[in-house]
Amino acid sequence: MRTCLSASWIVASFAAGVGLAGAQTPDAIAAGYADAARAAAPGFTGFSAQRGQRFFQAVHSGEWSCASCHSANPLAQGRHAKTGKTIAPLAPAANPERFTNLATTEKWFKRNCNDVVGRECSAQEKGDVLAYLTQRAPGSTR
Ligand code: HEC
């Protein structure tokens, strides 16, 4: 099992985290977003956890913010604003399964950004949110 996981991680890492499913890490997914953000804007200077936090907490074009369903504290359990179903925490420190599968991450970013922002999020926005969420890891330096 362990061997299996690290083998697919290596494959996924070599693919630079673009468009492939499989076991990944938050860092590998962030690296893929950094490549995409740099391609979209040559002046790209990196991701900001602070900007990600503002984006996550703000109401954009609709009635919901990301925090409406995920709670204002990404280490805490969320609650779906419409169905009332509980949602496991988004921060990897509280939920190690988060951001370990690019296809899952992309699927939900797409759906939730459309609901909250009225369009897909840019690579810059996704990377900023990811930086904010992973910064919630105790001992993390980002
Ligand atoms: C209407 C409720 C709702 C809103 C608003 C919402 N989400 Fe979600 N989100 C969900 C649900 C439901 C899931 C899938 C269930 C799960 O993963 O626990 C999910 C999953 C995710 C995931 C998957 C993470 C992973 O890889 O496991 C990410 C990332 C995410 N949401 C980000 C956001 C962001 C960013 C916003 C704001 C732009 C947002 N969500 C707004 C309901 C919501």
pLDDT in tens, 102-117: 999 999 999 999 999 9
**pTM (predicted TM-score):** 0.86
Residues near ligand 1 with C-beta < 6 Å?
64, 66, 68-70, 80-82, 87-88, 98-99, 104-105, 108-109, 112-113, 115-117, 129
Write the residue with the smallest CA distance to atom 22 of ligand 1.
108
CA–CA dist 1, 8 (Å, integer): 11
Write the residue with the smallest CA distance to atom 41 of ligand 1.
66
Write out the chain's pLDDT in tens, 142 residues: 454 544 444 444 444 444 455 579 999 999 999 999 999 999 999 999 999 999 999 999 889 999 999 999 999 999 999 999 999 999 999 999 999 999 999 999 999 999 999 999 999 999 999 999 999 755 444 4
Based on the number of CB atoms within 10 Å of its own CB, is 132 exposed (0-12), middle (13-18) or buried (19 or more)?
buried
In CATH terms, is domain 7-135 a member of 1.10.1200.10?
no
Write the residue with the smallest CA distance to atom 39 of ligand 1.
66
CB 26, CB 130: distance < 8 Å: yes
Contacts 24+ apart (CB under 8 A), 135-142: 135/49, 136/74, 136/75, 136/91, 136/92, 136/93, 136/94, 137/91, 137/92, 137/93, 138/93, 140/93, 142/49
